[in-house]
Amino acid sequence: MGKAAFIRARRPEQKQLRREAILDAARELARESGVQNVSLGGVAAAVGLAKSNVVRYFGTREEIYLELAAEAWQDWAEEAVRLLAAGEDPVQVLSRTLTERPFFCDLLSQTSITLEHNVSVEAARTYKRTALHVIATLGDAVAAAHPVLNPGEGVELVSAACALAGALHPVVNPPPTMRELYAQDPDLAATCPRMMPTLVRALSAFALGLPGLR
């Protein structure tokens, strides 16, 4: 839809459809080029709106991505809880489900440095309560599936998994200059970590160490 064809959404269902279109466009752009490289103007152009129209639904680009991050937390929790309830190893579940969600890991990498800036208090509150609820829920599920960890330690393990996944994502997915460097220098390429093995090893060590800190 081009900007010339813009029609103001008036009914609640129309407004909801427009919100979803904005979120879908922002999600697709981020998957193509990374969260940090998407501008509010880019989202507006992708959905066929002026920036001023997008701001009617989301105050800033950061608020768009905080809402997408909240959705991603919930999606991750649903899958991880299901696998944990089926008896799978908690470290493997956390590592694999995060590795399978590069967009979520990208959001995690951007949350504290950009996405929690330039947002309303209400948007920040909604996001933070969603994330903390997921961490608490997953912490309980991890403790129930792990023979040693208690719920508090389950929360610590989940929090560590998210922090590490967010830190690893930009390293595992280097920018073009670094990719060219790695292609030219295999010895340097060998130092670039892989997401799944790094998560498994680090979280295994973390889980082993937690009971000793009681």
Q: What tokens appear for 172 in the block?
A: 């595992």
Q: Are residues 90 and 152 in the same domain?
A: yes
Picking from 35, 58, 81, the residue at the C-terminal end of a domain is 58
Picking from 40, 58, 76, the residue at the C-terminal end of a domain is 58
Q: Are residues 45 and 65 in the same domain?
A: no
Q: What is the pLDDT of residues 172-186, one digit of tens each?
A: 999 999 999 999 999
Asked whether residue 6 carries a pLDDT value surpassing 70, the answer given is: no
Q: What is the mean pLDDT of the chain?
A: 94
Q: Are residues 31 and 67 in the same domain?
A: no
Q: Are residues 129 and 42 in the same domain?
A: no
CA angle 112, 130, 134 (to 5 degrees): 100
Q: What is the mean pLDDT of residues 72-80?
A: 98
Q: Are residues 12 and 95 in the same domain?
A: no
CA 139 to CA 153: how far, in whole Å?
7
Q: Are residues 127 and 197 in the same domain?
A: yes
Range of 27's domain?
Answer: 1-58
CA 182 to CA 165: how far, in whole Å?
21
Q: Are residues 41 and 71 in the same domain?
A: no
- pLDDT band of 2, cuts 50, 70, 90: very low
Full-model pTM: 0.90
Q: Which CATH number belongs to the domain containing residue 134 in this structure?
A: 1.10.357.10
Q: What is the pLDDT of residues 145-167, one digit of tens each?
A: 999 999 999 999 999 999 999 99
Q: What is the pLDDT of residues 124-137, one digit of tens each?
A: 999 999 999 999 99
Nearest to 58 by CA among 106, 29, 30, 25: 25
